[in-house]
Amino acid sequence: MLWIKALHIVFVASWFAGLFYLPRIFVNLAMVAPESVAEHERLLLMARKLMRFTTLLAVPALGLGLWLWIGYGIGWGPGNGWMHAKLFVVLLVLGYHHACGRLLRKFTTYGNQHGHVWYRWFNEAPVLMLLAAVVLVVVKPF
């Protein structure tokens, strides 16, 4: 079980690294001047590759988490309310990941509606979600 936990942590950390950096590329995309087509395309290429890589990292992170939860029974039974809260955070992270994909498609079609300041704030969400998940798993407050 410790190997599964270790791999789960590595894949979750890697997944979050992508979710931390992808919106930073969005900040740069939102700041590109309309006439800078080459810069826009270069940043889009970076964002697409990072989104693909981040998605590939999410799959084993989620699979290993399910294995720990269902296969080993971690978080089952009374006194494990923290797991319900953590699963809610996981759903929020999946929603954020999906939102990043939608925003990337908007940039691809030149349909972006947000400025660079909005993306700077959007970039803070995964930090808060990671903090919440780690506190729930380590502290187990309820």
Q: What is the pLDDT of residues 89-136, one digit of tens each?
A: 999 999 999 999 999 999 999 999 999 999 999 999 999 999 999 999
Percent of the chain at pLDDT > 90 equals 89
Task: Output the six-digit token pair for 43.
Answer: 């940043």
How far is the C-alpha of 26 from the C-alpha of 95, rounded, in Å?
17
pLDDT for the residue numbered 127: 97
pLDDT at 76 exceeding the cut of 90: no
Dihedral (C-alpha) 59, 130, 93, 75: value to the nearest 10 degrees?
A: 70
Task: Output the six-digit token pair for 59.
Answer: 């799959």
31 CB neighbour count, 10 Å cutoff: 13
How far is the C-alpha of 51 from the C-alpha of 22, rounded, in Å?
7
Q: How confident is the model at residue 9 (pLDDT cuts 50, 70, 90)?
A: very high
In the numeric block, the tokens 């903090």 are attached to 131
- What's the pTM value of the predicted model, to 2 decimals? 0.93
